[in-house]
């Protein structure tokens, strides 16, 4: 009887309880999967799952099922995967109710995760990518890149597919946009996407200033270094170079003709005096 009463009280409460919030900031670094729990109370556990190359099946990661930790070593999933192409995801669970699963991104350019450095221009984002990658070497043009993009803080739902670098135009100036990249095999994404990178789209005038200021700084720095070098190591040579040439006129070196010599009246070396022979007193 008591058991029935408890079932009547507990079962409706469990059924009416909302599922837990999903984790966020799910990422992988050196095959260590980490995530941030949602800010809520309750007995919430987490389960990590992986999916191999070009597969739609998700399998639980050993030792990472219903754990209360916020991390999981997933290096074991690499062993049975082709080209290290593994997808990872995490879901929260509480009282038998599970949250939506959140796929992980890779913080570093793994073999099956594209690496890139985002560049912003006036009204556009440039995602530099190369045609030479691990998948292209095996699958040629059946392998592409999928670049997801969108405003910061919003889901990255828009995307472009290409075999090399991608330029995203017609973006709002003064707004921050983010992008992430994932490999595409035929029409299916494979491997983990790179973690999103975000940049501010500059205004038309500011893009020129961003180029001029660094160039001017480098020019001033180069001039300062050259002046210091000349002053310390080449001061003597600089002085000789700046010293005006001193030349004696050739006509001054020739002997002066006698008819042009100045006439000087030299006083006689002998002086004439009257000889006094006697003296008469007055």
Domain coordinates in residue numbering, the chain: 18-106, 119-202, 205-234
The arrangement of secondary structure in 18-106, i.e. its CATH architecture, is Sandwich (2.60)
Q: What is the pLDDT of residue 201?
A: 94
Cβ-contact 106, 28 below 8 angstroms: yes
Global pTM reads 0.64
pLDDT over 70 (residue 8): no
d(CA 17, CA 13): 6
Cβ-based neighbours of 120, under 8 Å, separated by 6 or more = 126, 177, 199, 200, 201, 202
201 CB neighbour count, 10 Å cutoff = 21
Q: What is the pLDDT of residue 11?
A: 46
Q: Which ranges of the chain would DSSP assign to H, the alpha helix?
A: 2-16, 136-139, 204-233, 235-242, 250-253
At residue 54 the predicted structure's pLDDT band, cuts being 50, 70 and 90, is confident
The answer to whether domain 18-106 and domain 119-202 are alike in fold is yes
The number of angstroms, rounded, from the C-alpha of 99 to the middle of its chain's C-alpha atoms is: 35
d(CA 156, CA 166): 16
Q: What is the pLDDT of residue 140?
A: 65
d(CA 31, CA 18): 32
d(CA 154, CA 250): 88
Q: Which helix (H) or strand (E) holds 102?
A: strand 102-103
Read off the pLDDT of residues 198-235 as tens digits, 9 standing for 90 and up: 999 998 865 555 567 788 888 888 888 888 877 777 77
Q: Return the minimum-mean-pLDDT range out of 119-133, 168-182, 190-204.
A: 119-133
CATH topology of domain 119-202: Immunoglobulin-like (2.60.40)
**Mean predicted confidence (pLDDT) in 121-129:** 92
pLDDT over 50 (residue 5): no
């Amino acid at each position: 009887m008591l058991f029935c009463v408890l079932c009547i009280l507990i079962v409706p409460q469990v059924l009416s309880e909302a599922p837990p919030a999903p984790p966020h900031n799910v990422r992988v670094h050196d095959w260590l999967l980490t995530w941030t729990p949602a800010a809520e109370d309750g007995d919430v556990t987490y389960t990590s799952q992986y999916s191999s190359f070009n597969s739609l099946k998700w399998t639980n990661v050993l030792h990472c099922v219903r754990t209360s930790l916020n991390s999981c070593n997933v290096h074991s999933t690499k062993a049975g995967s082709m080209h290290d192409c593994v997808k990872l995801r995490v879901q929260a669970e509480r009282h038998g109710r599970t949250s939506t699963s959140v796929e992980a991104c890779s913080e570093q350019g793994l073999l099956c995760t594209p690496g890139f450095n985002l560049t912003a221009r006036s009204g556009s984002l440039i995602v530099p990518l190369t045609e030479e990658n691990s998948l292209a070497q095996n699958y040629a043009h059946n392998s592409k890149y999928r670049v997801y993009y969108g405003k910061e803080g919003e889901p990255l739902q828009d995307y472009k597919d290409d075999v090399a670098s991608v330029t995203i135009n017609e973006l709002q100036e003064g707004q921050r946009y983010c992008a992430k990249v994932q490999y595409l095999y035929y029409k299916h994404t494979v491997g983990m996407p790179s973690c999103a990178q975000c940049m501010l789209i500059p205004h038309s005038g500011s893009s020129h200033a961003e180029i001029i200021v660094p160039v001017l700084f480098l020019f001033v720095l180069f001039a300062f270094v050259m002046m210091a070098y000349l002053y310390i190591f080449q001061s003597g040579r600089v002085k000789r170079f700046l010293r005006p040439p001193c030349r004696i006129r050739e006509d001054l070196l020739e002997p002066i003709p006698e008819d042009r010599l100045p006439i000087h009246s030299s006083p006689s070396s002998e002086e004439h005096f009257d000889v006094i022979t006697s003296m008469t007193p007055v």
